[in-house]
Structure 1
């Protein structure tokens, strides 16, 4: 699959939104879609589709099938099929971004999606979709999205304490314990767990596991000749079998079978 084009939001939004991805599939093309856990929530809006809206699954259940959806954090792969002609905007929020902008309980969205009209309210959603589809110029559509999110009132609280914990996880490439996070963030464990679930959508332990997995895949991409043993060591896993467990859980293949996946697209997603 061709990688989506990447656009960055207005500087005023970069605390909340990591980037916009624009995915276009030509007419007559049918391609598989596979996304591992990313440690991010998102919004997906299809502005062009000649077939039924994109259908995605998680486990054996439908994850979403609407034209415009809000997706929470996932702990399992999401998969489906893309049929062209189609154009979709993938809005990747930073780990705290959706909660900061909208103040919603992120735990309620974990491994779930809801229609965008339910999340924003039908009139607001209808206006946004109308504005995005009136002119299919991508640059114009990005401006529409920027304007919409800039007008959104943030929740208005101070999140620097939790952001410090997230930054610590990122600096250590996910190789941390919950005790490390308690000490570094000056958090009581129960408070840390509660804040993470509400504001990020995952427990701190699971978020760190996903981030370590993302760091592993980025190591594979940057050092293609590295051995599995070296990878496990550099990525902070106990051993190769410990690393393989997470590859199988998040990608549903063994490390030796990564060639079966569209790794260009997977790498694109995991680099968000």
Structure 2
């Protein structure tokens, strides 16, 4: 895939869209899709042959009718999620934040000016050669079996294919253990509510950073008009933009 470098676009947008969409990016004059706008002003989407499902987030970028029509034509099921909830694609967000922080430090290091694309390649290399706190191994080793330790070659222990398989299993076990621990802490003071179509609920009043200090934290009550999943509902808030009517955070109306 040939990517036209755009230094005026943020790297986090580039990595975000590349990690979220399993599309081959092609170019055709006169076509417009916001999904890949960070790559080109005139992109066209072409599905991979082995694409089985598509992860979508509740944003104007992914709610576009043109995008949904494309997925339906290719018989690609849609997994609906949201960007600001625990069940969203948080691993991508964490990776993007880590890379952006590393690039920011390198950009302002020693006052030497370098292209952000060069700095990004170096930061990705460092990221892949750094041991994860959770897994206990570096991504470069788990993915490719590459020895990324800093020991001299004379002191390095040769890893076999069997060792790599065992380490991958151990890394997976460590990841699951960490996930279950964090889930236990998160769920400790939370209670799941099963809403139905027709229930009246209160919803969050926009994003925290977009609210004034004295604005209400929640607004409503509104009526649920559609249940997307066990945790996402479409609510009749009369917002002009249809994508603004999807909510993952709801509170029951005690007077209903």
Q: TM-score range by the shorter chain?
A: under 0.3
Output the TM-score relative to the length of structure 2: 0.25
Report the structure, 1 or 2, having the larger helix content: 1
Output the TM-score relative to the length of structure 1: 0.24
Higher relative contact order (CA 8 A, sep 6+): 1
